[in-house]
Amino acid sequence: MEYKILGSTKEKLSSIGIGTWQLSSNTEENEKAINLAIEKGVNLIDTAEIYGTEKLVGKIIKEKRNLFIATKVWATHFRYDAVIKACEKSLENLGIKQIDLYQLHWPNRGINIKETMKAMEKLVYDGKIRYIGVSNFNEKELKNAQRAMSKYEIVSNQVEYNLIERMPEMNLIDYMKKEKITLLAYSPFAHGAIFKKRYERIIKSIEELGKKYDKTAGQMLLRWLIQKDIVIPLTKASSPKHMLENIAAADFNINQKDMKIMDNLTPKDSNAGLSRFKNLIGYYLLLRASLRL
């Protein structure tokens, strides 16, 4: 397993992490898949209060050591007291005393980020969390969040990034590289959409390229992300078969020429992922906050 350093810390994270959104209803299969990944050296597991999978993660990680547990506080809990309360609940769900990475799940323009970050910094100070991250923040939102902090740093930003959702390449990645902030890439398969008929031409080209490495299209797509320096993809796979296939992406190299070929399969500003609904969710959160719901 290849490891990467988290932001400007000394933490070593596996170059592929496990995502736990919308796991299948077959919890036994999910557990088996995640346990297999851990056995193979994956140490990063990502969940969120809103996913409803914190308790399952808690069950899996019980009595296991050296794992790095990331979870998120949902945007309607960004007032000071609500952040503290949400963190306590996540600690209880996970059955742990300290969360390794606590992330703001989605920017909420309706609540002053200074108030939210004050609570996040208090959580670090009190030892309830170790590091602060954000998720779905664009460059401007990330800069605002950084400015709102007084003691600690933002170590990661979790955004959608895959071959058909390449908006992070516009400005965000360069800024994050400069600031030494890790990019946790969610939905590396565009939530599975990349394997649909619509993208058949792209997948065929990648399969062809993968033959040289004896790798599947999925492995090539994950590896393409891993080789983007500060990027760690989060893979969600409910079955042990998919999980093993995916984490094997951490153990091979695509040469520069083939990386360029993959780069050229879609335009750099390709925006076909779930993130294109970001504004809608943003307006909803703003409305909720202004009505103080």
Ligand X SMILES: NC(=O)c1ccc[n+]([C@@H]2O[C@H](COP(=O)([O-])OP(=O)(O)OC[C@H]3O[C@@H](n4cnc5c(N)ncnc54)[C@H](OP(=O)(O)O)[C@@H]3O)[C@@H](O)[C@H]2O)c1
The closest alpha carbon to 18, from 235, 244, 248, belongs to: 235
Distance CA(159)–CA(168), nearest Å, equals 8
C-beta closer to ligand X: residue 152 or 195: 195
Which parts of 180-199 interact with ligand X (CB under 6 A)? 186-192, 195
Read off φ and ψ for residue 268, nearest 5 degrees.
Answer: -60, -25
Q: Are 14 and 44 in contact (CB under 8 A)?
A: yes
Q: What is the dihedral of CA 150, 54, 44, 123, to 10 degrees?
A: 20
For residue 93, the one-letter residue type is N
Query: Which of 88, 23, 85, 89 lies closest to 60 in space, CA to CA?
Result: 23
Given a contact cutoff of 8 angstroms between Cβ atoms, the answer to whether 77 and 100 are in contact is: no
**Is-catalytic flag, 213?**
no
Q: Is 242 in the site for ligand X (CB under 6 A)?
A: yes
Strand (E) or helix (H) holding 188: none
User: Is residue 246 at the binding interface for ligand X, with CB under 6 A as the rule?
Assistant: yes
Q: Which is nearer to ligand X, 194 or 289 (CB)?
A: 194
Distance CA 98, CA 103 (A): 14
Q: Which of 7, 16, 19, 141 binds ligand X (CB under 6 A)?
A: 19
- Position 238 contacts ligand X (CB under 6 A): yes
Phi, psi of 105 (to 5 degrees): -70, -35
Using the rule CB under 6 A, which residue among 121, 179, 207, 245 binds ligand X?
245
Of 50 and 123, the one with the shorter C-beta distance to ligand X is: 50
- φ and ψ of 177, to 5 deg: -60, -45
Among 4, 128, 215, 236, binds ligand X (CB under 6 A): 236
Please select the residue that binds ligand X; options are 43, 76, 108, 235, rule is CB under 6 A.
235
Q: Is residue 20 near ligand X by the rule CB under 6 A?
A: yes
Q: Which of 3, 51, 102, 283 is labelled catalytic?
A: 51
| Residue 135 C-beta: closest distance to ligand X, Å | 4
Instruction: Provide the minimum distance between the beta carbon of 44 and ligand X in the complex, in angstroms, as a whole number.
Output: 10
For residue 137, the minimal CB distance to ligand X (Å) is 10
Q: Is 71 an interacting residue with respect to ligand X (CB under 6 A)? A: no
Task: State how far the Cα of 106 lies from the Cα of 141, in Å rounded to an integer.
Answer: 10
136 touching ligand X, by CB under 6 A: yes
Q: How many residues bind ligand X (CB under 6 A)?
A: 28
Residue 178 CA to residue 169 CA, distance in Å, equals 14
Residue positions annotated with a catalytic role: 51
Contacts with ligand X by CB under 6 A lie at 19-22, 24, 46, 105, 135-136, 158, 186-192, 195, 218, 234-239, 242, 245-246
